Amino acid sequence: MNPTPQESWGFLHPECHGRNALVFFSWDLARTIEQQFKLHAQSTVTMQLQEAQKAVDRLLKQYVQIQANPAAFEGQTIELRLEHDEASPDKPVLALKTSPELEHLILEAQQAVQSSGRLN
């Protein structure tokens, strides 16, 4: 399947509802963060993190607006932060703090896809 440019975003996919929305969201989340860090590559790490956080917040709102899975997305949060590893303190690692309910649902949906090999 070759997605159209619009379908390349999960929230635009016609199957983005229910449990599928959680899988699409995880894909969109990774893509959003990656895009923001590339887009702001010349900025400070702090600025990159701030811009990525804004984009993640917009993405979460997008999933709420389209009512992809209201019980899963409404009132949930994802906080981006940099953590330092003692082994290499000069290279911070991006950490996501996802609200427990959303994290549980995403992991559950991903396991279901891995088990069945397909969405739905």
In tens digits, what is the pLDDT along the chain, a chain of 120 residues? 444 454 589 999 999 999 999 999 999 999 999 999 999 999 998 999 999 999 999 999 999 999 999 999 999 999 999 998 888 878 888 999 999 999 999 999 989 888 887 665
Residues β-bridged to residue 48? none
Counting other chains too, the contacts that 101-105 makes at CB distance below 8 Å and 24 or more residues apart are 101/72, 101/76, 102/72, 102/73, 102/76, 102/77, 102/78, 105/22, 105/69, 105/72
Nearest-Å Rg of the Cα atoms of the chain is: 15
Can you give the pTM of this predicted structure? Answer: 0.86
Spans of all domains in the chain: 13-115
Do residues 98 and 106 make contact, with C-beta atoms less than 8 angstroms apart? yes
